[in-house]
């Protein structure tokens, strides 16, 4: 949605038709209204995504996005009708093939940025479903093996940043206030 310039924060200009809340609202409604079999029978992630985009296109054409929590509230009331119709036209033409192309060309490339070369090379020649499945499986296996370590690194980095920040913002002698003691409400 952001790369298609359909959300407000796609280019930070505020000119988009949709925002993340519209997408979340769509998901809430679809989770409630669609049966379990819609999600699971002959499951295809890309087909589900294309169906969701078509539903969003219908809402935009109608100029009505029902608020999930407030009955009768239209989340599209204050948006320009012309932009809604243009966005609806963009979304209505998206099919499963385009979702697949986006998934491979944009999303997977971002996921692969920190992968080792042997995994990246699997995506160089993806011509069949089997080759794609092999490449994605290798990516998922790699991420599953490294996610705990990556999370630990992020946690340590945040803790160091917070400790540094706390030491500069308090009047206590350096080192007397730690992240842990700050959150526990007591000083060392």
CA dist 185 and 179 (Å) reads 10
Say what the pLDDT of residue 100 is: 83
Q: Considering 113, 132, 162, which residue would you say is the last residue of a domain?
A: 113
Does residue 41 lie in a domain region?
A: yes
- What is the model's pTM? 0.61
Instruction: Say if residue 34 is in the same domain as residue 96.
Output: yes
Instruction: Say if residue 81 is in the same domain as residue 149.
Output: no
Least confident window among 18-22, 39-43, 63-67, 168-172: 168-172
Say what the pLDDT of residue 131 is: 86
Q: Considering 113, 132, 159, which residue would you say is the last residue of a domain?
A: 113
Query: What percent of the chain shows pLDDT beyond 70?
Result: 79
Query: What percent of the chain shows pLDDT beyond 90?
Result: 22
Does residue 154 lie in a domain region?
A: yes
Instruction: Say if residue 133 is in the same domain as residue 180.
Output: yes
| Statement: residue 181 has pLDDT above 70 | no
Q: Count of domains in the chain?
A: 2
Report residue 113 as tokens. 């940025």
The Cα angle at residue 103 between residues 100 and 108, in degrees rounded to 5: 140
Say what the pLDDT of residue 12 is: 44
Instruction: Say if residue 93 is in the same domain as residue 130.
Output: no
| Statement: residue 5 has pLDDT above 70 | no
Instruction: Say if residue 33 is in the same domain as residue 56.
Output: yes
Q: Considering 61, 93, 113, which residue would you say is the last residue of a domain?
A: 113
Mean pLDDT of the chain: 81
Report residue 53 as tokens. 């985009």
Does residue 1 lie in a domain region?
A: no
Instruction: Say if residue 109 is in the same domain as residue 29.
Output: yes
Instruction: Say if residue 101 is in the same domain as residue 127.
Output: no
DSSP sequence for 44-58: -HHHHHHHHHHHHHH
Length of the chain: 188
Instruction: Say if residue 138 is in the same domain as residue 170.
Output: yes
Instruction: Say if residue 21 is in the same domain as residue 100.
Output: yes
Does residue 3 lie in a domain region?
A: no
What range defines the domain where residue 52 resides?
A: 8-113
Other beta carbons less than 10 A from residue 13's beta carbon: 9
Q: Which is nearest to 143 in space by CA: 167, 173, 112? A: 112
| Statement: residue 38 has pLDDT above 50 | yes
| Statement: residue 29 has pLDDT above 90 | yes
Least confident window among 10-19, 103-112, 158-167: 10-19
Say what the pLDDT of residue 24 is: 92
Say what the pLDDT of residue 64 is: 95
Report residue 3 as tokens. 């790369």
DSSP sequence for the chain: -TTTT-BGGGSSSS--SB-HHHHHHHHHHHHHHS-HHHHHTT--HHHHHHHHHHHHHHHHHHT--B-SSSTT-BTTTTS-HHHHHHHHHHHHT--HHHHHHHIIIIIHHHHGGGS-HHHHHHTTT--SHHHHHHHHHHHHHHHHHHHHHHHHHHHHHHHHHHHHHHHHHSSSPTTS--HHHHHHT---
Convert the pLDDT of each residue in 84-125 to its tens digit.
Answer: 898 888 888 888 888 888 887 777 777 787 788 898 888 887
Tell me if 67 sits within 8 A of 75, measured CB to CB. Answer: yes
Instruction: Say if residue 59 is in the same domain as residue 141.
Output: no
CA dist 110 and 103 (Å) reads 10
Instruction: Say if residue 128 is in the same domain as residue 79.
Output: no
Does residue 2 lie in a domain region?
A: no
Instruction: Say if residue 139 is in the same domain as residue 58.
Output: no
Does residue 119 lie in a domain region?
A: yes
List, in sequence order, every residue forming a beta bridge with 74; answer none if it has no partner: 66
Compute φ and ψ for 74, nearest 5 degrees: -105, 115
């Amino acid at each position: 949605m952001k790369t298609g310039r359909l959300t407000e924060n796609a280019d930070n200009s505020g000119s988009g038709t949709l925002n993340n809340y519209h997408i979340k609202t769509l998901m809430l409604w679809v989770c409630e209204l669609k049966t379990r079999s819609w999600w699971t029978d002959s499951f295809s992630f890309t087909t589900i995504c294309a169906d969701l985009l078509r539903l969003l296109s219908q809402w935009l054409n109608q100029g009505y996005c029902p608020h999930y929590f407030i009955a009768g509230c239209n989340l599209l009331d204050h948006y320009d009708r012309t932009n809604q119709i243009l966005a609806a036209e963009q979304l209505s033409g998206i099919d499963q093939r385009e979702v697949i192309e986006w998934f491979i060309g944009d999303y997977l490339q971002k996921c692969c940025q920190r992968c080792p070369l042997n995994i990246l090379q699997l995506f160089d020649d993806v011509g069949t479903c089997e080759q794609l499945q092999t490449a994605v499986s290798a990516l998922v296996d790699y991420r599953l093996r490294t996610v705990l370590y990556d999370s630990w690194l992020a946690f340590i980095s945040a803790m160091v940043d917070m400790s540094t920040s706390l030491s500069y913002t308090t009047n206590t002698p350096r080192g007397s206030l730690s992240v842990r003691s700050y959150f526990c409400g007591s000083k060392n």
